[in-house]
Amino acid sequence: MSGLLSVLRQGAMSLQAQQAYSSTVAHNLSNVNTAGFSRQRAELAAVSPADQIGNSFIGRGAVLQSITQARDRFVEQQMPIAAGMERQSTTEAQLLQGVSALNPDAGLTDALSNFYGQLRALAQNPASANIREAAAAAATRLAISFNQTATALDSARAGVDSRLSGQLPELNEALQQVARLNSQIRQASINGGRPNDLLDARQRLVDRVSELTGARPIPNDAGDANLTLPSGVSLVQGDRASALSALPDLSNGGRLALWITPPGATTAGLLGQPPGGELGGMLAARDGALRTAQTRVDQLAFDFGNAINAVSQTGFALDGSTGRALFTVAATATGAARTISVDAAIAANVSLLPAAGAAGAPGDGTIAQALINTESQLLSSGRSAEAELASITAGYGATTSRVMAKSEGDQAVLTNLTALRQSVSGVSIDEELVNMQRSQRAYEAVSRVIKTADQMLETLLSLR
């Protein structure tokens, strides 16, 4: 009788194992469309030790050994790095592409060319009121083009600041959740089990933090996912998380700089090196190509305006007055493109536009010709105004093209790794349905064993 009771015990234990197998398959099928879900496998094992009868060993059935996740460690180690690099280059490329103020046909190039064209007409007929009006209008258009270009670049950089500060609440919350999940997973793993759904939830957060900052998870023996920036700065240590904030940086024109409050600390420190990911891409665009272009456009406006003024102040207007600057230029190059304008008196009265080399000579175009000669004058950059503007435009375009090419390469790498991850961790409906059928057949077979053992036990009892 003890043998039949042993068979019943084995059957009951095996039924539980097959039920766990079926439940795991059902869980996989239920989450086939759940983002970040990693398929699970119920690992069954023979019960050990077996019963010994004489010189023979009789098995004791099956038991659920563990429920594991299907993950490729090699792929998972590469994913955060690839995701961070892809988001950084793609974000930078998108921001640089979104600025059209430096396109060759954006207006500043044409305005500069038109300005010198009107000066040539003025040199030929300096006494004509219509030509003077056209020349003053060309100067105004050029100044406005400088203003618009500078404003567009400044707005683009300000937009990066707004987007940067807008991402920090999401990032800080994700870091806090990773820290909390580290604690929960540690507690749930005390008895040796693996809380797979908690692990999936943490992995989704880790992936997002990697996209935002380029952070990389560093597991420890306790099962925690500690997150560290590429520079080595810690974001999460066990159940403690850092917090990032953005404050104005006076050394960078008041643009936002990232500060970090380390885990367990109460005071924030300036984040020395920029992060990777989306935040890194924003900072790279704002303080890289956009800042360079803005600085060079300001310097161009400053040098060009002063070069024109140096000539115009030596000329004479139709009323015989002299010493008047054509443009109003800032005292320093910083912000010069945004503030440059045509002298208010000249804009109101074009007869005050200096064109003659002597008083009382309305037909004299000496100074107008001298203004034309500034077209080939070398500025502080070592190039003429037109050549410097072309260099600014070409440099910005080259940087944008380089970043776009890098973005395409990074996207290809990430796409390949994502496909590899999906092939290992993704749920296959066909495969799970086959597993469900196998589990059903096994369950039916074990049930038949239990029923048969019960009938044998009834027969044995009836004999007594």
Distance, C-alpha 263 to centroid of its chain: 24
CB atoms within 10 A of CB 21: 24
Q: Are residues 398 and 432 in the same domain?
A: no
360 Ramachandran zone, left/alpha/beta (phi>0; psi -120 to 50)? left
At 13 the pLDDT is: 81
The whole-angstrom separation of Cα 125 and Cα 127 is: 6
Same domain? For 413 and 266 the reply is yes
CB contact at 8 A, 326 and 342: yes
Same domain, 63 and 38: yes
Task: Clarify whether residues 382 and 443 are in a common domain.
Answer: no
In the prediction, which pLDDT does 454 show?
Answer: 73
Residue-wise pLDDT tens digits, 177-221: 999 999 999 998 887 778 999 999 999 999 999 999 999 999 888
Which position has the higher pLDDT, 157 or 272?
A: 157
pTM of the model: 0.87
Helix 289-312 and helix 73-97, axial crossing angle in degrees, nearest 10: 20
Say whether both 432 and 420 belong to one domain. Answer: no
Q: Residue 450 — very low, low, confident or very high, per pLDDT cuts 50/70/90?
A: confident
Pairing state between β 269-270 and 255-261: antiparallel
- My answer on whether 186 and 124 are in the same domain is yes
| Domain co-membership, 418 together with 435 | no
Non-local CB neighbours of 378 within 8 Å, separated by 6+ positions: 384
CA 449 to chain centre: 59
Q: What share of the chain is helix, strand, coil (3-state, %, to 5)?
A: 60, 10, 25
* pLDDT, mean over the chain: 91
| 212 and 324 both lie in a single domain | yes
What share of the chain in percent tops pLDDT 90? 70
User: Cβ-count burial of 317 within 10 angstroms (0-12 exposed, 13-18 middle, 19+ buried)?
Assistant: buried
- Domain co-membership, 223 together with 365: yes
Q: Please indicate, yes or no, whether residues 251 and 231 belong to a single structural domain of this protein.
A: yes
The total of other beta-carbon atoms located within 10 Å of residue 312's CB is: 26
Number of domains in the chain: 2
How far is it, in rounded angstroms, from Cα 354 to Cα 59? 109
Taking only the tens place, the pLDDT of each residue in 294-337 is 999 999 999 999 999 999 999 999 999 999 999 999 999 999 99
Q: Tens digit of pLDDT for each residue in 334-369? A: 999 999 999 999 999 999 999 999 988 888 999 999
User: 51 and 195: one domain?
Assistant: no
Widest distance between CA atoms in the chain = 143
Residue 15 scores a pLDDT above 90: no
Residue 375 has pLDDT above 70, yes or no: yes
Q: Which CA distances in Å does 338 have to 16, 126, 345, 347, 384?
A: 76, 30, 20, 18, 20
Residue 198: partners with Cβ closer than 8 Å, 6 or more residues away: 181, 184, 185, 188
- Say which residues have a Cβ less than 8 Å from residue 281's Cβ, sequence separation at least 6: 87, 88, 89, 90, 91, 92, 95
Residues 65 and 81 in one domain: no
In terms of residue numbers, what domain contains 49? 2-70+428-463
Reply yes or no: is the peptide bond before residue 263 cis, omega within 30 of 0: no
